Structures are given as structure tokens and as C-alpha cells.
Amino acid sequence: MDMWIRSAGIGAAGVALLGCTPIVSSGLSDSRAQHAGEARVDKALDPASYKREFAVPLTKVMVFGLGHLDGAPDSFKTEWLEPVLCRLRAYRPDVIVTEAMSGEQIMGLDAYADYHGDAGAFAGPTLEMAKTAQSDLGLTAAQALVKANALSARDDLEFADRRRLAALFVAAAEPFSATVQWMRLPSTQRVPADGVTSALVARLNRFAALRSELTSIAARLAADIGLNRVYGAGDHASDVTLPSSTALTAASSAEPNIVAQFNHDTPEFRSIPEEAMQLSVASEVMPVMKWKNSIKFGVMDANAQWFSMLRSDAYGVTGRQRVAAWEAQNLRMAVSIREVTAPIAGGRALVVVGASHKPFIEAYLRTFTDIELVSVPALLDARPDGCAA
């Protein structure tokens, strides 16, 4: 039995059921299937409960939470991530999903800038890069994405194809997928050609060297295991539901102690050694990653950052509105993950997100019929061949 599946709560009986011979029905005998249907007649529908009847393996999803690495101290080195990457290569996901916004959402926010505000505030240089590449290639973002999808589906890509694909992904506002292509090229082939300009070469070289987990984990892993792209599931469309910054500041001023909870500056958090680790030395990487992906962290962080506002009289409606926006954001991310995993039914997905998102996204993914969550701590505790401690 797969160690990571076992630790995620699937027992031997569940594995036996998942491995049974596929038949036209739900996998139960006619009488059991009829009984199962009858047993649910008087109960509200719970789609997730039907996964127990599947005659095929479920789609495995590992949600890897972490503190954003671009905020790590200057002493942090991406080379320290190798023990983590080695284990993720052993997991070998079929798709990799990140917290970056999809090109479709970035361009949509830009099109509705009068309503949503400046998309560039969320997307960094992505929007400017995309518009420049669209002009250079004579394509819209949607047209570029269609061409990129068609080209990336081929299994005979030459160096020129990868440069072309990088340019198309940039035009589609998918720079981290472009980065995957750039990483898959030898350094001698990272040149201005096939739609990639000299200015874009410089941009892609910078993207490939980022400390952010979008590059140092997601894009790096995709390139290492031969994937052609990563998928963005991040969301800022739901930001329209946020309360005003004035209201949030006023609520915090009325209850200053709550800010300490937001910042994990409480005796409960201070009692945990991993909370003090800042990834300033290599030996802190694995303990911090295990802690950020633990059930205990998820519960404590949610209580400190989000549910504290619901318990606060000072925050009142403002707190409820802020939590509603947070829930909407994570729900949209969960939906994006479900869409990305649809074509790989029975396969494996990796989702790389900020640690605060992890428990909420996992809670929503549990409600879907064809999703089986995979334990990150169990993966990190494992020692696949060739992986250092």
C-alpha cells in the first residue's frame, strides 16, 4: 500500500475496494447498490460519500503549504530545498498547481479594471510582460494559450519549440509555465529566437532564478520530471468582497490584542520551536515544512488569523466580511484545482500554496467525489532512494 495514501487515512479495506475489477455498476453488488441508494433517500446528498463505491482509484491531491520563500531571510538558499524536491520527484505528480493567478484571471481582472482595480497590483510584472509579448506575436492572450496548449501536447519538442512555447506562455499571462520551458532548455539555448526577444530573455532568466516557491519548487519540479507547464489556481476576483482598509484598521485599533494572534505572537505559538525557525540555515527546512503542513498548524493558524475575527465584538460585521472574502478565495482555488485534475482522473496532483490556505483548501477538496488527499508530513518523513534526510 502506498505510504502516503495509508497515512492520509485509507486503510487496507479501502485500497482493496479501489483496486477491485471495474464493472458497469458502482462497484457494489446489485442488492448492495440498491440498499445504498435506499439508505440515502432520507439524507441530504453528500457527494463525497460516493467515493467509497468507486471501482477505480481516486485522484490523489497533495496540498503542500509553506511560508512564501521570497520572504525568507537573505541567508536562505534554494539549494536547501533539494531534500524536499527529491521527495516530490518520487511522488511524481501528473500536474502541478500553484497559488499564482491563471492568465485567464489576470487578463479578466485587467479587462474589468474599473470594477476590480489594477490587476498589476496582484500580478506583478506578469501583465506588462503579457501585453508586450502579445504585441510582439500579434496574438491575444486567449489565442496564445490555445497555441501553447496545442504545442505543449506534443512529445517531440525541439529547442526552437520550447523557446516558442515560452513566448506563447508569457503572452498568455502564464510566466511560470514559460519558466518551466526556459528551465528545460540548456543554458546555451536560452537565446533570443522563435518569438523570444532579448528583453524577454532577460526577464525569463530572472524568473528562473527567483527564490519564490513558484519557481524554486513548482517550476523546478515540473522541469525535473518532464512536465511542460504549471497551473495557477490563485484568486483575487473575490477581493471585491473585502471590507475597506479603514474599517479593518478601526477594528484592529479597537482590539489591539487580536493583531498578536494574527502574527502568531502568543504563548501557544511561542511554545513551538518550529515557529521561531526562519529558514536561516539548511537544517530548518524540513522541520518547518513538516510543521506548516501539520494538522495542528492548520487548526491553530485558522483560529488565530480568521476565527479570531468571528469571535471579536470589535470586528463585528467587518470581521465576518473579511472571513467571507477569505473563504470565497479558497473556494475558488479549490474549484480551479478540481478543474485541473479532471483530465488526470486517478492520477496525482501537487498543489503548492501558502500554508494558511492549506487547511481551507483541503476542507473544500474533501467535499468532492473524486479527490483523495495525500499527507505531506508522511512524504517528508519518507526516505525514497537517493533522498537525503
* Mean of pLDDT values over 373-383: 97
Q: Who contacts 316 (Cβ-Cβ below 8 Å, separation ≥6)?
A: 251
Sole residue written with cell 506548516: 292
Q: In what order do the strands lie in the sheet with 371-373?
A: 231-234, 95-101, 348-354, 59-66, 371-373
The mean-pLDDT minimum among 44-53, 179-188, 328-337 falls in 44-53
Helix (H, G, I), strand (E, B) or coil at 8: coil
Report the pLDDT value the prediction gives residue 340, as an integer from 0 to 100.
Answer: 98
At residue 327, what is the residue type? Answer: E
* Mean of pLDDT values over 256-260: 93
Q: How far apart are CA 279 and CA 335, in angstroms?
A: 32
Q: Who contacts 15 (Cβ-Cβ below 8 Å, separation ≥6)?
A: 1, 5
Q: Report the DSSP beta bridge partners of residue 349.
A: 61, 95
Report the pLDDT value the prediction gives residue 37, as an integer from 0 to 100.
Answer: 54
Q: Who contacts 358 (Cβ-Cβ below 8 Å, separation ≥6)?
A: 63, 64, 65, 292, 293, 298
Contact assessment for residue 84 and residue 221, using Cβ atoms and an 8 Å cutoff: no
Q: Are strands 231-234 and 371-373 parallel, antiparallel or unpaired?
A: unpaired
Using pLDDT thresholds of 50, 70 and 90, give the confidence band for residue 5: very low
Contact assessment for residue 181 and residue 162, using Cβ atoms and an 8 Å cutoff: yes
Grid cell digits, residue 241 = 468582497
Report the pLDDT value the prediction gives residue 40, as an integer from 0 to 100.
Answer: 59
Contact assessment for residue 184 and residue 208, using Cβ atoms and an 8 Å cutoff: no
Contact assessment for residue 299 and residue 231, using Cβ atoms and an 8 Å cutoff: no
Report the pLDDT value the prediction gives residue 34, as an integer from 0 to 100.
Answer: 52
Percentage of the residues of the chain whose pLDDT score is greater than 90: 83
pLDDT digits (tens, 9 = 90+) for 54-70: 878 999 999 999 999 99
Grid cell digits, residue 12 = 487496507
Sole residue written with cell 467587518: 318
Q: Report the DSSP beta bridge partners of residue 62.
A: 350
List strand residue ranges (DSSP E) for 128-285, in order: 231-234
Contact assessment for residue 310 and residue 324, using Cβ atoms and an 8 Å cutoff: no
Task: Report in angstroms the alpha-carbon separations of 238 from 270, 315, 365.
Answer: 33, 20, 19
Three-class SS of 279-344 = CCCHHHHHHHHHHHCCHHHHHHHHHHHHHHHHHCCCCHHHHHHHHHHHHHHHHHHHHHHHHHHHHH
Instruction: Calculate the dihedral angle through the C-alpha atoms of 209, 237, 335, 178, rounding to the nearest 10 degrees.
Output: -30
Using pLDDT thresholds of 50, 70 and 90, give the confidence band for residue 124: confident
Model confidence at 51: pLDDT above 90: no
Report the pLDDT value the prediction gives residue 12, as an integer from 0 to 100.
Answer: 39
Percentage of the residues of the chain whose pLDDT score is greater than 70: 89
Helix (H, G, I), strand (E, B) or coil at 181: helix
Model confidence at 21: pLDDT above 90: no
* Mean of pLDDT values over 80-88: 98
Model confidence at 143: pLDDT above 90: yes
Model confidence at 38: pLDDT above 80: no
Domain residues of the chain, as ranges? 3-53, 59-91+235-389, 92-234
Contact assessment for residue 66 and residue 199, using Cβ atoms and an 8 Å cutoff: no
